[in-house]
Amino acid sequence: MTKVTDSKGGWWKWLLLAAAVVIADQFTKSLVVASFARGEAMPVTGFMSLVLVYNSGAAFSFLAGAPGWQRWFFTAIAICASVFLVYMLKRGGSRMLSAGLALILGGALGNLWDRIAIGKVVDFLLFHYGDWSWPAFNVADSAITVGAALLILDSFRQRHTDATVPAAKN
């Protein structure tokens, strides 16, 4: 199996995927904010609802109850992560790796936009069953999750190297 790599000159094309995620994320969030009151829910299926919630914390509302410093803390983390992701994209790699990095970058920038603009992240997808529910999330969160899954899958792919490893001596 050979490793398919992108030419280092074409790395910026992956930024288009990241931009598409940001656009889709911000568009869907704007639709929900314009259509729902805070906390309002609309069932879509028996296990999924659209709901408008704001998250001032991180994943699963981590640090949401903090007095406000977390906004800038998570903003700084998102900026640093985004710079690192662009660096990784510039290095090149398999299409799966690059797609995963671009999806994570787009998701990070989508949520970063919310943090800078309104101080919290808009979430609106709620999956539930009976009394149980998964924390609400958004398109950016979904892109980050799919991107992380692609990175994990890519890590299991067989790699070929130009260097040979000498056999161990007994």
Q: What is the pLDDT of residues 3-20, one digit of tens each?
A: 455 556 688 899 999 999
- The conformation of residue 137, written as its DSSP 8-state character, comes to B
Alpha-carbon span 123 to 114, nearest angstrom: 10
Q: What is the pLDDT of residue 5?
A: 52
Task: Point out the catalytic residue in the list 6, 141, 154, 162.
Answer: 141
Task: Point out the catalytic residue in the list 6, 25, 114, 123.
Answer: 123
Number of Cα atoms under 13 Å in the Cβ half of residue 151: 15
Taking a C-beta distance cutoff of 8 angstroms, is the pair 151, 101 a contact? yes
In-domain check, residue 40? no
Name the residue range of residue 104's domain: 69-131+146-159
Alpha-carbon span 42 to 56, nearest angstrom: 22
**pLDDT tens-digit map of 111-167:** 999 988 998 899 999 999 988 988 889 999 999 999 999 999 999 987 655 444 455
Q: Does residue 25 have an active-site annotation?
A: no
In-domain check, residue 90? yes
In-domain check, residue 49? no
Taking a C-beta distance cutoff of 8 angstroms, is the pair 5, 79 a contact? no
Provide the pLDDT confidence category of residue 2 given band limits of 50, 70 and 90.
Answer: very low
In-domain check, residue 17? no
In-domain check, residue 86? yes
Number of domains in the chain: 1
Q: Does residue 123 have an active-site annotation?
A: yes
Q: 64 in helix, strand or coil?
A: coil
**pLDDT tens-digit map of 21-56:** 999 999 999 999 999 999 899 999 999 999 999 987
In-domain check, residue 137? no
Sequence length of the chain is: 170
- The conformation of residue 9, written as its DSSP 8-state character, comes to G
